[in-house]
Structure 1
Amino acid sequence: MKTFILLLSVIVYTAAQVVQPCNSPPQWEGRVAAGDRQLKFSEYARISYDETDQRVRVIEERDEGSEKDFYDTLYLHNVGLKYQLNLVTKKCNITTLNEPFRTRGVPPFARFLFTGTIGAAGIPNEHFVIQAYEGQFQDGTRFGVTVTYPDCVPVEGTFFTNSSGILHFQ
C-alpha cells in the first residue's frame, strides 16, 4: 500500500509540473534569410534587436525578379517611426509605424508546445535542444516561436496578423 501511495504521489507531482516560458535575451543580433522561388524573391539581412528600447535595425539585400535593392531600416517603436534608407539611391523615407512592437522572444503568456533537437542528437556538441511556444496577443495577432533551451535564444518565429498577413523570421 505504501508503495502504491508513493508511486501515485510521484505521478501526481510529475504531472503537475508545467513548463514556464523562458526569458529571451532583450538585445541580440542575427541574420535573416527569406525567399520564394515562384515569386523570384529573396532577402538576406542582418538584424539588431533591442526589446528594452523597442527598436529594431535591419540591413538587407532584396532580389525581386531582376531588381536588386539594398536597405538600412530602423524601426523605432518607442516613438512610432520607421526610417528606411535606400543604400543605392541614398533616399531616406520616414513613415509612421502602424504595427505595435512585438517581442521576438517568448512572451510570458505563451503556451508551451514541445521540445525537440536540431542536429545530430547522439553526438556531443553537434546539436542543440529547442522549445516551441505559441500564443495570441491582445490585439488578436497569433504567433509561434522556437527558442534554444536553456538559453532561450530565438531560432525562428511567425506572426499572423489580419492587417499585414504573415511575418516570419529565422
Structure 2
Amino acid sequence: MGRMHRLGIAVGLCSTVFIGGSTLSFYEDSQPTTMNPLFARTMVDRRTHELVFDRIFYRSAITSELKSRIVDSYELLEDGSKMKLFLRDDIKWHDGTEFTGDDICFTISAMLNPDTPSPNAKPFREVLTGCEYIKKEKASIVSFSRTFHNPRERLSFAVLPRHKFES
C-alpha cells in the first residue's frame, strides 16, 4: 500500500471522528470470519469484536486503569474466590434486548463447556469455575479456581447475548 493511499485513509478516518453525529467507517483488509468472539481466529475478527462486544472489564488505553461499562459495582466473596457483579440498569443489546447477568453466566458456561472448541476460551477455563445469575439483584456471582490478587483482570472477555447465541 502506497504512502499516499495510507495518508488518504488516515485523513478520512480522522475527519469522520471530528464530525459530530457522523458515521465512523472502519476499514480492514478482509472481512471477519466470525461474529462469535469465542471463535475469533484473525486480528480482523478480534478488532471487529472489540467494536461490537463490550468486555466485563477492560484497561483504559489512557490510564491503564481497569474499567467497566457493564458493571456498576462489585464485591469480593469467600476470600476473593468469588466476585459478585452488580450490573448497570441502563444497558441494552444492539437489538434493544435488556443486558442481564444471565448473559454473563451464559458466556462463562459456553467457555467452560468442553464441547465448545474455542482456543480463546482456554485461558478462562483455567481460572473460572462457574457463574450464578441472581435475577432479583440484577447480579452475577462469578466463581474462580482460586483467589487472585485482582480478579477483575480475569474478567476481560467479551460477553455474548444469550438470546442470540443460545442455540
Relative to the length of structure 1, the TM-score reads 0.25
Greater RCO, CA 8 A, separation 6+: 2
Higher-strand-fraction structure: 1
